[in-house]
Amino acid sequence: MDITEILKKYVPTREEKHKKESVIKEVLSKVDTYIRENSVDAQPIIVGSFARGTDLKNSDVDIFIQFEKSYSKEEMEKIGLNLGFHILSDGVAKYAEHPYVRGTWSGVHIDLVPCFRFERNSKIISSVDRTPLHTEFLNSVSTPEMKTQSILLKLFMKKLGIYGSELKTEGFSGYVVELCIYYSGSVNNFLEKVANDRGQFVVGPGNPKFSSPVVIVDPVDLSRNASASVSEKSLAILRMGSRMFLENPSVDFFDPDHINRPNRVFQNRGTYLIVLLMPKPEIIEDILFPQIQLLRRNLIKFAVDEEFRLMNMFYAVEEEEIQILIELESGNLPGVRIRQGPPADLPNSLTFFNKYLHDDHIARGPYVKDGRVYAEVYRDITAFKTILQNNIGKINMGHHLNTLKSSITLEEDYEKIINMKVFRSFLEEINPCYPPENISRKTSS
């Protein structure tokens, strides 16, 4: 394949690199001045993909402020925020394990992140402490060709929608992608290993104590699985995408902006649709998305426990709203519910029998069938929307979402639902994304 045009499209131009270098020089000068004037025992260091020569166009520049361990974590965070806001006039506080400042300088996005100075395989104070050593390690082992291969694998991951370690994506970070190339040698070698592997996917030496779907031991901290954030779903998508690519190689697999979706004519699915709508709280994504996933899991359990036949549960996050689509075979239950009692050879079978013999809601029975006692009772409520409304307060959604339960609305108007983002995203989902025109030509021949 000729990847020249892809690299031109996604690799920063010489002008962009020069601009970033100039911005970094100015920001570092400001940081040094602040540190000197405020007697801060710390020093700035450039880390991340720009420092490693594996950055994509318009990517952020990461500048870490390494503090001596004589500072407490609270002192480091406070001074780090003060420094960040002093340097970046438009800065906003972001939060990972601890706060940092994100802003722009002459149009370049900058992250100013405080951390502690960390020696390889020593005890860390904050998880970001390792990051400078990640850059140092990769720069010591990477060749120009490995850097090019890393860029291509990043683009491949972006195309599949699994690039990024944040909890929204649960995919492969830039550092992990570069380790994949370090251990495999090339994109092709890596994808062949992925396509032919089964079960837990191990890249490099591995470590039996790690139980994550993907295991890549961090060479700067052997006690850490660098790929612990990669989910089973992301691994499955990678396996599918790898097989698709190897079956029909195309540069389109490295072009994340080029996504062709087959035209689909929407037809009424003949199912019951309802959307749970709630305000999006002002919290970072790494806190928000685990709570959305918790709500999703508990809604699934609720629907199944109430004996509805669940088909799909899908969510989308708008700028100010969370939308959760629930699709059931039917929005109404039968008017009668079968209660299964104990086997007839157990003493408590008589207790069950007597309980329902004079029950006001009894519709049929109690009776014995296949060696067990059963009773059929009338349901007071059969509509899913009403049952969910009556029980929404009992469903755990996580700390922040629980506080918004009173603002939840349920929408079952079909015409409104089909125009919502969550419904469009649900229908258009293709995972992994691939060049349909290439695959279809091959399979139809």
Residue 169 and residue 306 in one domain: no
What does the pLDDT read at residue 437? 55
Residue 397 is part of which domain span? Answer: 272-332+382-428
Residue 53 and residue 117 in one domain: yes
What does the pLDDT read at residue 169? 87
Residue 227 and residue 300 in one domain: no
Could you check whether the bond before residue 366 is cis, i.e. omega within 30 degrees of 0? yes
d(CA 231, CA 293): 13
CB-based burial label for 203 (10 Å; 0-12, 13-18, 19+): buried
**pTM for the full predicted model:** 0.85
Residue 418 and residue 277 in one domain: yes
Structure tokens at 440: 């279809």
Residue 80 and residue 193 in one domain: no
d(CA 98, CA 124): 14
Instruction: Indicate the Cα dihedral angle 138, 144, 150, 155, nearest 10°.
Output: 140
Instruction: Indicate the Cα dihedral angle 392, 393, 398, 402, nearest 10°.
Output: 110
pLDDT tier at 1 (50, 70, 90 boundaries)? confident
What does the pLDDT read at residue 442? 42
pLDDT tier at 402 (50, 70, 90 boundaries)? very high
Residue 388 and residue 364 in one domain: no
pLDDT digits (tens, 9 = 90+) for 21-51: 999 999 999 999 999 999 999 999 999 999 9
Is the CB of residue 182 less than 8 Å from the CB of residue 142?
yes
Work out how many domains the chain is built from and give that number: 4
What does the pLDDT read at residue 445? 34
267 within some domain: no
80 within some domain: yes
pLDDT digits (tens, 9 = 90+) for 252-283: 999 998 877 766 777 888 999 999 999 999 88
SS3 192: helix
15-40 as b/e: b if 16+ CB within 10 A: eeeeebeebbeebbeebeebbeeeeb
pLDDT tier at 160 (50, 70, 90 boundaries)? very high
d(CA 79, CA 402): 33
Is the CB of residue 229 less than 8 Å from the CB of residue 170?
yes
Between helices 187-196 and 144-160, what is the axis angle to 10°?
50
- Among residues 192, 219, 254, the one where a domain terminates is 254
pLDDT digits (tens, 9 = 90+) for 323-360: 999 999 999 999 999 999 999 999 999 999 999 998 99
